[in-house]
Amino acid sequence: MTWLADFRADPAAHPLGTPSGRIEIFSDTVDAFALPDCAGHPTWYEPSEWLGGPRAARYPLHLIANQPRTRLHSQLDHGGASMASKIRGREPIRIHPDDAAARELTDGDIVRVFNDRGACLAGVVIDDGLRPKVVQLSTGAWFDPADPRDPDSMCVHGNPNALSNDSGTSSLAHGSTGQHVLVQIERFTGELPPVRAHEPPRLA
C-alpha cells in the first residue's frame, strides 16, 4: 500500500480534501484567523514552560507525565498491577542519578514535587535512562488532597494534575498541554500522610 497513491499518480483527477487540492504547507484559512499563537504555516513558538525559559530558574526539572504501564489512564489504579508499582503507597517518580545526587535522594525516598500551581508526593526511582533535568511521573494516580476542603492542598498520592498548566496548545487547537511541566523536587521530611483515595466515601 502506498500512501496517497491515487493522488501521486494523478493529482488533477484525485485531489486532496484541501482548498487547493494539494498538500498545503501554508494555509490561507488559518492565516486569515490572524491568531498571535498560530500562524498559517509551521513555525516555532517559545513554550510557556521549558528548560530554556525563565521559569527554569525556579523550577529546574522538566516533568513528563506519560501514560502509565500499570493501568489505563486512571482505571484500576486500585488494582494489583498498579498498587505493586507504588512506593509506600505513592506514585513512582523517575529521576536521573545526577539530579537525585544533587538533592541527596535515594531509591524509595518520598519527595515533594512542586511548582507555583501545587504539589504532590511521589516515591523516588533513580533511572539513568532519563536525561538529566528530566523527571517522569505517570498520569492516573487518583487525586488525594491532604485536606479536601482546601483547594490548594497537596496531593499525597502523586497525581501530576496538581502541577500542570490548564491551558491549550494554541488559541486555535486547544490541545492538551498537561503532560509537560516544570517542577522542583525536595525530600519530604514531615509525617507521611495516609493515602485514602481508594477508600469508600464516608456516608452521613
Please check whether residues 69 and 39 belong to one and the same domain. no
Does any domain span residue 59?
yes
Boundaries of domain holding 77: 54-187
Please give the pLDDT value at position 169: 87
Give the CATH number, domain containing residue 82: 2.40.40.20
Please check whether residues 91 and 152 belong to one and the same domain. yes
Please check whether residues 61 and 14 belong to one and the same domain. no
The total of structural domains in the chain comes to 2
Please check whether residues 69 and 164 belong to one and the same domain. yes
Does any domain span residue 34?
yes
Determine phi and psi for 114, rounding to 5 degrees.
-150, 160
Please give the pLDDT value at position 59: 98
Does any domain span residue 120?
yes
Please check whether residues 82 and 109 belong to one and the same domain. yes
Does any domain span residue 200?
no
Q: Which helix (H) or strand (E) holds 97?
A: helix 97-102
Please check whether residues 31 and 99 belong to one and the same domain. no
Please give the pLDDT value at position 204: 63
Does any domain span residue 60?
yes
Show the 3-state SS of 111-143: EEEECCCCEEEEEEEECCCCCCCEEEECCCCCC
DSSP 5-73: HHHHH-TTTS--SSTTSS--SS-HHHHHT-BTTB-SS------SS-TTSGGGGT--EEEE-PPPSSSBT
Please check whether residues 168 and 78 belong to one and the same domain. yes
Cell (9 digits) for 93: 517518580
Please check whether residues 124 and 165 belong to one and the same domain. yes
Please give the pLDDT value at position 87: 98
Q: How far is CA 130 from CA 57, 64, 70, in A?
A: 20, 11, 19
Please check whether residues 66 and 28 belong to one and the same domain. no
Residue of 165, 182, 179 whose CA lies nearest to 62: 182
Please give the pLDDT value at position 84: 96
Does any domain span residue 150?
yes
Does any domain span residue 2?
no
Residue of 94, 50, 8, 73 whose CA lies nearest to 182: 50
Report residue 101 CA to chain centroid gap. 24
Please give the pLDDT value at position 203: 79
Pairing of strands 92-95, 119-126: parallel
**What's the CA angle centered on 135, arms 130 and 138, to 5 degrees?**
105
Please check whether residues 21 and 67 belong to one and the same domain. no
Please check whether residues 65 and 37 belong to one and the same domain. no
To 10 degrees, the CA torsion angle through 51, 53, 59, 64? -40
> Tens-of-pLDDT digits for all 204 residues of the chain?
788 999 999 999 999 999 999 999 999 999 999 999 999 999 999 988 999 999 999 999 999 999 999 999 999 999 999 999 999 999 999 999 999 999 999 999 999 999 999 999 999 999 999 999 999 999 999 999 999 999 999 999 999 999 998 888 899 988 888 889 999 999 999 899 999 999 988 776
Does any domain span residue 195?
no
Please check whether residues 31 and 98 belong to one and the same domain. no
